[in-house]
Amino acid sequence: MNLTIYIEKIGSYTKSTIEGYGRLSIMLFHAFSSIRKFHLYISEIVEQFIYIGRRSLPIVIITSIFIGLALGVQIGTQMSALTPPWVEGGLILRSILLEMGPIIIGLILSGRVAAGIAAEIGTMKVTEQLDALRSFAIDPIEYLVMPRLIAAMFAVPALLVFADFFGIIAGFISSYFTINLGWEGFLKGMHHSFYVSDVFTSLIKAFIFGIVIVIFGSYFGFNSQRGASGVGKATTLAVVWSSVDILMLDYVISAFLFFL
Amino acid sequence: MIKIKNLHKSFGDFRVLNGIDLTVEENKILSIIGKSGTGKSVLLKNIIGLITPDKGRIEIDGIDTSGFGEEEFNKFIRPKMALVFQNGALWDSMTIGANIDLALQIQQHLDKKEREKRIKESLEAVGLSNIENVYPNELSGGNCQSYSNEA
């Protein structure tokens, strides 16, 4: 008896999750098809670029520095005595470029940007501001989602460049103090492990994560329930689901590009 | 002219509109009075297409809106109408001037000079000029509704 209830619950949850992804895909398609009208929203796009990009820069730099420092210590202390120290340069480079950079950026922006978007749109919904937009014959997705989407597609890869740079420099400083690895050795290690394709992989991930952050924040904002608790719940869901999807997509993109 | 015939709308088991028949002649003013929760706002939202009726027919200036989507409402119905929401529903992140400017910019594609002129005129029309740079949360509820109407 209990088992039947659990199976029913799992089935119902799976069904609603699939339906949610369906509605989210329709919203994404709608937002992308609105891009042709981007010239009407230049000031909104610039404003969103500043919000997503410039205002996230300090936290992205601080986090990248500490991730780089931690990586330097962890890799340095775990290398065997037979491994040449300069190898650490390459390990730090590839770790930051391929995984740590995009993932850290994605998760930080989920917390900062997706939550912000969900709260803003959710509040607009419960105070009838979205209905007011529609009554003016203004498409809320075109006005609220599309400018954020364009801004994120440029801002997130730009933030990644900063995150990678500061992460690698911090990794070098940490390696210097952990295993006394000099700049020349660090450069040699990076040179041995560097592939241009890694830079593209990293940028593609950041580009896609930017889309995920905006679309999840917007989706949960638009589906926010009444009242302050409804907006709070929408914000939490936006952060949780965008973070989970970023981690899933990170694997999918890595695997896809590896087999390509 | 607005003609409504046998309009029904329910939210779950809660029946809000139960077979409304109504005609609003051109150049006539009609007041709808009722207790809170009796469906006055729901009726207006049905007319402007923010809510889809379960059953019934709404005709505006001879155009039957049954089966209309967002695009058709945006093209044929909404530009002719103004709806003032209960709490003003002004965009609180923008100043009063920017609120009025938004529709003029996106919907009517007017240039900046013309928009500034229209904003000034519309604020003067409700007797509350020189507050273009004030935010909605700095206004009283009544003033919010006046600006919302102008927007």
Q: Would an 8 Å CB–CB cutoff place A259 in contact with chain B?
A: no
Spatial separation of the C-alpha atoms in residues B74 and B78, rounded to whole Å? 5
Q: Would an 8 Å CB–CB cutoff place A26 in contact with chain B?
A: no
Q: Cα–chain-centroid distance for residue B2? A: 14
Percent composition of chain A: helix, strand, coil (DSSP 3-state, to 5): 90, 0, 10
Cα torsion angle, B116, B119, B125, B126, sign:
negative
Residues 6+ apart with CB under 8 A from B17: B7, B8, B9, B10, B39, B42, B43, B46, B53, B56
Q: Does A8 map to a domain? A: no
State residue A202's pLDDT score.
92
Q: Please list every residue in chain A whose beta carbon sits closer than 8 Å to the beta carbon of residue B137.
A: none
Which candidate, B37, B108, B102, places its Cα nearest to that of B74? B108
Q: Please list every residue in chain A whose beta carbon sits closer than 8 Å to the beta carbon of residue B50.
A: 131, 134-135
Fold of B2-80: Rossmann fold (3.40.50)
Side-chain-side CA neighbours of residue B148 (13 Å): 25
Question: Which residues, numbered 136 to 155 in chain A, qualify as contacts with chain B under a Cβ-Cβ cut-off of 8 Å?
Answer: 136-139, 143
State residue B89's pLDDT score.
63
| DSSP result, A69-132 | HHHHHHHHHHS-TTS-TTHHHHHHHHIIIIIIHHHHHHHHHIIIIIHHHHHHHHHHHHTTHHHH
Q: Using one digit for the tens of pLDDT, what is the confidence trace for B55-99? A: 999 999 888 888 888 888 888 888 888 888 776 667 777 888 888
Task: Count structural domains, chain A.
Answer: 1
Range of A249's domain?
A: 41-62+99-169+194-259
Q: Does A222 map to a domain? A: yes
**Strand-by-strand arrangement of the B2-11 sheet:** B14-24, B2-11, B55-60, B63-64
Q: Is A82 or A198 the better-scoring residue by pLDDT?
A: A198
Tell me the whole-structure pTM to 2 decimals: 0.83
Q: Is A225 or A166 the better-scoring residue by pLDDT?
A: A166
Q: Please list every residue in chain A whose beta carbon sits closer than 8 Å to the beta carbon of residue B106.
A: 40, 136, 138, 143
- Residues forming beta bridges with residue B64, ordered by sequence position: B59
Q: What's the mean per-residue pLDDT of chain A?
A: 91
**Contact criterion met (CB < 8 Å) for A135 and B91:** no
Residues 6+ apart with CB under 8 A from A127: B87, B89, B92
**Structural domain spans, chain B:** 2-80, 96-150
At residue A13, the 3 state secondary structure works out as: helix
Reported as type and span, the H/E element at residue A151 is helix A146-179
Q: Structure tokens of A76?
A: 């340095």
Q: What is the pLDDT along chain B (151 residues), one digit of tens a residue?
A: 899 999 999 988 888 888 889 999 888 888 989 888 888 889 999 999 999 999 999 999 888 888 888 888 888 888 888 888 776 667 777 888 888 887 777 767 777 888 888 888 888 887 777 777 888 777 766 665 665 655 5
Q: Please list every residue in chain B whose beta carbon sits closer than 8 Å to the beta carbon of residue A138.
A: 102-103, 106-107
Q: What angle do CA A211, A137, B95 make, to 5 degrees?
A: 80
Q: Would an 8 Å CB–CB cutoff place A131 in contact with chain B?
A: yes
Q: Would an 8 Å CB–CB cutoff place B83 in contact with chain A?
A: yes
Q: Using one digit for the tens of pLDDT, what is the confidence trace for A66-105? A: 999 999 998 888 877 777 888 888 899 999 999 899 999 9
Is the CB of residue A133 less than 8 Å from the CB of residue A156? no
Cα torsion angle, A177, A181, A187, A189, sign:
negative
Q: Please list every residue in chain A whose beta carbon sits closer than 8 Å to the beta carbon of residue B86.
A: 128
Q: Structure tokens of B140?
A: 């009283």
Could you identify the residue written with the tokens 């995984």? A99
Q: Structure tokens of A231?
A: 């907006």
The DSSP secondary-structure symbol of B19 reads: E
Minimum distance, in Å, between the CA of residue B34 and any CA atom of chain A = 21
State residue A141's pLDDT score.
94
Using CB atoms within 10 A of its CB, is residue A206 exposed (0-12), middle (13-18) or buried (19+)? Answer: buried
**Contact criterion met (CB < 8 Å) for B148 and A134:** no
